[in-house]
Structure 1
């Protein structure tokens, strides 16, 4: 129902816009508007390299070439427009000029458990989500430099095939554990994120206040294993599975002493419920906040005429939630113990290791990534987690923006869980291969295949083969 209603409205609008622009000669919208696109969640830019840049002096005004004539307007082109619905008769550009950026996006995935796991009978699903992203630029609207406000609404349907596979984490992020659940009403729009952001001192300091998500948006980011929209599907490639995810009312601060180093921290409500505003638990009841701290380095290595950027992040976390200790109770003869105030640490690294050319704006090349995380095994099912892999952009000639990726992720179960609760507990390993076709600037189609050994870290579980295809459409 939700996909039918949304597509009817937005595709109808696209057809109207196309007809109107062709009839009236509406100027093109230009490049895609900047702003928050949640599935990408891009890294902070590195503005100064560790290698020296060649200084250039601006030419005098009388040396500047004459300004080129304004190009003639062209009609709406379905294959080249940045957004499917075009410029809305110029309304999109007008709104952006005054500080309003509205960017709807649809992400949908078909997945099937072809072999093994828990079940293969009817073990297929079409799941997905609408994202309604809006950013208000308060510098343009209210003359407040460095200030903005972001809000996101979502509509989702179906829960994916994690139950059929039996894996520790969802084969696709937004369709299973840890992601955005389907709440039973596909017509319901859930406002799941919002924040006020303020940057100060020439963008050296940033603050955010609102309903925040610690992983994906703020911490444990990775250039080559981050976006569940155009990169890997398996949740364990989007963030470290030992980090306790938290989405709720909170605060975030980040400081760049130099462009190649940063420090950041956050505190986010640990008791938030997904379908609530967050104010009930954020400002009432126990003061439980998940804490995250991270520092990172962003060097640029100069090799010949190529510059190879990298990002090296190191972080730790605090989780106040009460958890059961893994122990034998002898059918109630022993009292179950509980523990709170857990801590852990992680690292997330990415490095471009081969670049096709010396154009700094061209991202074609081969990049590598690595993650590792640790959590105490007495209360956490996953004691150690690591993932590694490669991504190549532009491998096929003329397909400069396509992505090819392969990765391996492993969740190593707690020894205490194995010795006290289930002796068959071991580790779950996931291998994933994907290829993201950028069909048009507004459409990306990504087939992928996953091979999951020992689902749920159970030695007795059947290895699973999962295949699927994902589509992203920017409206």
Structure 2
């Protein structure tokens, strides 16, 4: 596809979506699969202005009152490698995330029980291959087909305990903060990227069999334990999410996470620490297998001023014969309402350091060190259901080999909530 055709395709897509959004409003950041995050859940309240298509003549609030909450999000990213990397390039990727939340207490009298069913369609392409890095600068790329994604039940056992079971990805509950969801790069968007590079968990929209037990001690303290299927075919998108089998070569990843949400100097904060214990045969970079993989992670965020949140995250595994990035450190700042009169906009900066495994370097015949990604952007909340987010990424030492020039990537993320 030539440049003119690509730009025309993107322009028409954005223009047509924009024409539809006359009565729209906050779109929840979506975290893509290799980044990824599933979308943050909406609260139970209904406001017609929050949706591009309004209240459907009163049908939508009536369905919600009965326990049926449909949802549909559309996201697209345009990216262009304008300097460095392997080659100049530009492309477009899009994503539809749709489904329904069912309140089974309202529908069938099953106290404290809900069900979620969702699908994802991904289309378009990425410029990642032209940049040459380990992180994709277009976070909604990965498995460009239509999937059956979530299919799970969640029940509130009592005031403190809840249980989730079904088809789901681990990043729905673990190793992720909503602050990550503003980045166009998989360096930070979604769950901690190192966990995906070593295949110890899956993420949106790659579902596996799994379950999560949550214990809320009180408003400040929460503990979660999750068990999820993992295996060599966990990223296979050719079955469109319809392969429910458990194979002999599959294993499990056991995740544990403790969350603390205190007030620090009168400001909201969140601190979580976690661990991933994966039991299956992982292929080593230089031959043979490893049957157990451990990774620890930690995250801290705090509101340092009105609308200004800062965070830091670190993750480490000593299994460098399997873990492509044994150490990952990320940090960032998100400022809501920086521009006067635009209180719902977000301005952000992210930085990620990914240390590459020597064993991985040996397997590709290179001496590797690390890759760093910096990103600066601004989300314009055009209406509650429509946002436009330009950003610039600087990728230092793509691939960690020193053989690829630092890259500058320009991008724009467009999102709608129907």
Asked if TM exceeds 0.5, the reply is yes
Shift of 1:321: 4.1
1:240 is the counterpart of 2:192: yes
Distance 1:421 1:110 in 2: 31
The correspondence of residues 192-207 of structure 1 with structure 2, limited to 5 A, is 192-202=149-159, 204-207=160-163
Which of 125, 130, 148 is matched with 2:96 structurally? 130
Q: Deviation string for 1:48-88 (max 9, x for gaps)?
A: xxxxxxxxxxxxxxxxxxxxxxxxxxxx9xxx822111111
In structure 2, the residue corresponding to 1:398 is in which secondary structure? coil
1:372 is the counterpart of 2:340: no
In 2 relative to 1, CA 320–283 (structure 1 residues): closer, same or farther, beyond 3 Å?
same
The correspondence of residues 255-294 of structure 1 with structure 2, limited to 5 A, is 255-271=215-231, 272=234, 273-276=236-239, 282-294=245-257
In 2 relative to 1, CA 117–438 (structure 1 residues): closer, same or farther, beyond 3 Å?
same
1:152 aligned residue: 118
1:338 is the counterpart of 2:289: yes
In 2 relative to 1, CA 234–135 (structure 1 residues): closer, same or farther, beyond 3 Å?
same
1:162 is the counterpart of 2:146: no
Q: Deviation string for 1:101-143 (max 9, x for gaps)?
A: 11111101110111111111xx111111111131011121112
Structure (1 or 2) with the larger CA radius of gyration: 1
- Tell which has more relative contact order, 1 or 2 (C-alpha 8 A, sep 6+): 2
In 2 relative to 1, CA 418–11 (structure 1 residues): closer, same or farther, beyond 3 Å?
closer
CA contact under 8 A between 1:292 and 1:316: conserved in structure 2?
yes
Distance 1:201 1:298 in 2: 21
When the two structures are aligned, how many residues end up with a matched partner? 388
Using the size of structure 2 for normalisation, the TM-score is 0.84
Q: Which has the higher strand share?
A: 2
Shift of 1:318: 1.7
Shift of 1:241: 2.2
2:174 aligned residue: 219
1:41 aligned residue: 40
In 2 relative to 1, CA 174–427 (structure 1 residues): closer, same or farther, beyond 3 Å?
same
In structure 1, the residue corresponding to 2:296 is in which secondary structure? strand
In structure 2, the residue corresponding to 1:81 is in which secondary structure? helix
1:210 is the counterpart of 2:183: no
Shift of 1:313: 0.7
Shift of 1:300: 1.2
1:254 is the counterpart of 2:196: no
Shift of 1:411: 0.5
CA contact under 8 A between 1:211 and 1:278: conserved in structure 2?
no
1:313 aligned residue: 272
1:409 is the counterpart of 2:352: yes
Shift of 1:391: 0.6
Where do 5+ consecutive residues of structure 1 fail to align?
Answer: 19-28, 45-75, 184-188, 328-335, 356-364
Q: Deviation string for 1:328-382 (max 9, x for gaps)?
A: xxxxxxxx32212111111111111112xxxxxxxxx111111101122122221
The correspondence of residues 89-100 of structure 1 with structure 2, limited to 5 A, is 89-100=57-68
Shift of 1:40: 3.8
In 2 relative to 1, CA 43–429 (structure 1 residues): closer, same or farther, beyond 3 Å?
farther
CA contact under 8 A between 1:192 and 1:274: conserved in structure 2?
no
Shift of 1:455: 0.8
- What is the root-mean-square deviation of aligned Cα atoms in Å? 3.2
In structure 1, the residue corresponding to 2:133 is in which secondary structure? coil
Shift of 1:468: 1.0
Distance 2:60 2:310 in 1: 37
